[in-house]
Amino acid sequence: MPLMKSWLESANRPDCPFPLNNLPYGVFSTPGKDPHCGVAIGDRILDLTAMEKAGLMKLADKKVFDRPEWNAVMALGPDAWTRLRKLLFGFLADGSALRGQAERFMVPLADAKMHMPFTVAEFTDFYAGKNHAENVGAMFRGAENALPPNWLHIPIGYNGRASSVIVSGTDFRRPWGQLKGPQDDAPRFAPSQRFDLELELGAIVGQPSPYGQPISVAEADAMIFGYVLLNDWSARDIQAWEYQPLGPFQSKATATSISPWIVTREALEPFRCAGPERVHPLLDYLKEPGPMLYNIAMEVELTPKGGEPTVIARTNYREMYYSSAQQLAHHATAGGGMRVGDLLGSGTISGPVKDSRGCLLELTWAGKEPVTLSDGQTRTFIQDNDRITLRGNCHGDGYTLGFGDCTGVVLPALERPFR
């Protein structure tokens, strides 16, 4: 699909992440105004809350933009999602007779503060990247036993903390936790020293599934409202001590950062691509009815305090073994109902070569091979005051479709964790 031109010239630049083809949804505020709903276009935000109040944007019998979240719009369902996109095209397309009305409600992106775009109902993180799983497994179990016996048959996941999901730009402190090294006689309580990032894509569930009713992969795909970049920060030393026999717990409970803009499933349609060749045939309920992944180029940047940024990894979402739709379908098999606002983390997205690995655990091979930054500093894991930035872009015919940066700074641990 080629660039869809807007009357807003900034949206037509080939390097602009928010062309008319995209129209991602977010929640923003400006001085003196509370957080509310908007859509990014070029270097502007179209204020949908104000347009609805003025009677220019009607999506349902009741107001749905008069709140600091997109959950009410999600709950309306796919037909309403498509209708909203068409309404926005009508206001923003090149030559639109409604240009004057839309211009009244434009806010410069540079003047806006971004907030959580939706209320997270529940959060589930998966372990669905084959390159990542093979690398991590090889480190700790050897290459011959890298993948657990179930991995090629089932999308493995765990339930995380919805309360730990934060929007890009929210800094947080290094966690304390129970640590025990292989040479230690007993565990100790201390700040994590092996703190890591995980480059992921987050799928946002926009429609519920009935309690007790499994769903197909095709039904799951249609339930997904959109996607965000996701950094599932991980305390590897806490994880190493706690994860057997039940898996991650406090090692993943510090923070999960998401990008501020929800890129809709409809906007991503031109970038669909097929999944990998299967090592073993999947069970019927997990088989894809068509291409389920997306061609999204992704990168990780690390910036020390006062230092220069260094891109330490580049990869692509098409490397995943299981898609978000497959993860969602599997999630519902036991009967648990999915909810509007559920968030599914893809799992770490790693490619087949060293500089395409989506976390420091892999990039440094558990700390044995430090990464060198542009200023000569090295890293095995994240140090205090390091900033991590995730980026993701799709490249179309004459345009770029982006998610906005997903960034966060790891601040020093509390000196005294208890009052």
Average pLDDT in the chain: 97
Predicted pLDDT of residue 411: 98
**CA pair distance 8, 68, nearest whole angstrom:** 26
- Over residues 362-368, mean pLDDT: 97
Class of domain 9-115: mainly beta
Q: What is the pLDDT of residue 200?
A: 98
Q: What is the pLDDT of residue 270?
A: 98
User: What percentage of residues in the chain have a pLDDT greater than 90?
Assistant: 97
Contact 233, 179 (CB under 8 A): no
Q: Averaged over 373-391, what is the pLDDT?
A: 98
Contact 394, 383 (CB under 8 A): no
Instruction: Assign domain 123-411 to its CATH architecture.
Output: Alpha-Beta Complex (3.90)
- Residue 27 · residue 167 · CB < 8 Å: no
Residue ranges of the chain that CATH labels 3.90.850.10: 123-411
- What is the predicted pLDDT for the residue at 1? 84
CA distance 415 to 12: 49
Given pLDDT bands bounded at 50, 70 and 90, which one contains residue 419?
confident
Average pLDDT over residues 82-86: 98
6, pLDDT greater than 90: yes
| CA 220 – CA 331 distance, rounded (Å) | 10
Bond from prior residue into 245 cis (ω within 30 degrees of 0): yes
Please say if the pLDDT value at position 255 is more than 90.
yes
Angstrom distance (rounded) from CA 214 to CA 194? 39
- Enter the DSSP assignment of 356: G
Q: Could you read off the pLDDT of 208-226 as tens digits, one per residue?
A: 999 999 999 999 999 999 9
Q: Are 136 and 362 in contact (CB under 8 A)?
A: yes
| Percentage of the chain exceeding pLDDT 70 | 100
Per-residue pLDDT reduced to its tens digit, 266-303 = 999 999 999 999 999 999 999 999 999 999 999 999 99
Look at residue 126 in the predicted model and tell me its pLDDT.
98
As a whole number of angstroms, the distance between CA 290 and CA 118 comes to 29
| Dihedral of the alpha carbons of 294, 354, 173, 24, in degrees to the nearest 10 | -20
Q: What is the DSSP string of 322-352?
A: S-HHHHHHHHTTTSPPP-TT-EEE------S
> What gap in Å lies between CA 375 and CA 284, rounded to an integer?
51
Residue range 126-167, pLDDT digits in tens? 999 999 999 999 998 999 999 999 999 999 999 999 999 999
Averaged pLDDT for residues 189-202:
98
Residue 151 has a pLDDT of 97
Q: 3-class SS at 19?
A: coil
- For residue 36, the model assigns a pLDDT of 98
CATH code 2.30.30.230 region(s) in the chain: 9-115
Q: Which residues are catalytic?
A: 132
